[in-house]
Structure 1
Amino acid sequence: MNLIWKAFQWITDKAKAAGGLCLVGMTVLTCADIIGRFFKYPIFGSVELVTFMGALAVAFALPFTHQTNGHIGVELVVRRLTLKTRLIIHILTGLAGSTLFAVVAWRMWVYGLNLNQAGEVSMNLQLPEYLIVLAVAACFFVLTIVILRGVIEAFGQLKTK
């Protein structure tokens, strides 16, 4: 099981780096487009590319953000509960979240395959949209596994209490 967690940790780290590259790409492309527009030479398709990179940046960051508890959480009430109660809440919300993201990943995967079959492409650059949808679906799958790992760890802590 430890090998599986290490593999998903590696995937999470690479996804985080890819998300960072998307942010850098968005910045560079936007700046180049603004400069180009100033000289009457805008970059054709820059809005599409920035949109795709924005979606990928968010999706690539999700597993790492959950793993490091970097998301926003409301803990005013929960923090005052006993450790056992907090672990139970963590397990229940983790199961609900992993179920949700597993379904979302599955349906996005099906949607991406449908886009591929239909030959859908972006409006200006004619880039295949299904690749972005499948990449986001894969990120949701990794997020599901990261959430389940947290559930398993919390369940292990609950058993020792």
Structure 2
Amino acid sequence: MSALTNWVAEHYEERGPAAWLAFGLEVFAGIIICLMMLLTCADVIGRYFFNDSVDGAVEMTEIAIALLVYAQMPVITWRGGHIVVDMLDRYLGSRLVCALGLLAALLVSTSFYVLADRLMELAERSLRRNVVTEYLQLPVGHIIEYIAVMSYVTAVLMITYGVYRLFREYRQH
């Protein structure tokens, strides 16, 4: 375990639990991508060589994409990997830019929190009504719950990142 700990410490800029969260989510996303690749290969080979595609391949791909996107959302958010338009930064003072950054972090995290709350309500309703996917009959509510939980995590990481960035940039100026 020590070698893995050293590897994570060497390759991740985050420290402590944030590094392990990023590592775990990236491993999960990597596994999902590999499974999607295998599924696609099996589906194409089955379709063209055996005239029989993989049953439910489209549904599994849709679910995998949702798992993948929302597994990476917290990591991208914490690292500040979202698109930022900074055309006016050189004309505004550093304090105003920091304040606007904090406001943006607050708005984004609030949006993710509201989204997660609404998704949790929809997930509960889907589970109560036994809503399932069309072909594979998988419970839709569990997929929605996963998206809601990852949206909560993203909201928390966005606000902590925004505050961290604000204080870090304020100290530098």
Give the TM interval when normalised to the shorter protein: 0.7 to 0.9
Query: 2:91, 2:71 → 1: CA distance?
Result: 33
The superposition leaves residues 52-110 of structure 1 with CA deviations (integer Å, 9 ceiling, x where unpaired) of: 00011011110111112222222222355332222111100000111100000111111
Relative to the length of structure 1, the TM-score reads: 0.87
Query: Pick from 156, 161, 169: which aligns with 1:145?
Result: 156
2:63 is the counterpart of 1:62: no
Query: 2:99, 2:105 → 1: CA distance?
Result: 10
**Distance verdict in 2 for CA 1:117–1:8, change over 3 Å:** farther
Which protein, 1 or 2, shows the higher relative CO under an 8 Å CA cutoff with sep ≥ 6?
Answer: 1
Query: Where does 1:9-48 land on structure 2 (aligned, <5 Å)?
Result: 9-38=19-48, 39-48=50-59
Structure 1 residue 9: Cα displacement: 4.7
**Distance verdict in 2 for CA 1:155–1:80, change over 3 Å:** same
2:136 is the counterpart of 1:103: no
**Distance verdict in 2 for CA 1:18–1:84, change over 3 Å:** same
**Distance verdict in 2 for CA 1:29–1:79, change over 3 Å:** farther
Q: Is there any run of 5+ residues in structure 2 with no aligned partner, and where?
A: 1-14
Relative to the length of structure 2, the TM-score reads: 0.81
Q: Is there any run of 5+ residues in structure 1 with no aligned partner, and where?
A: none
Structure 1 residue 51: Cα displacement: 0.4
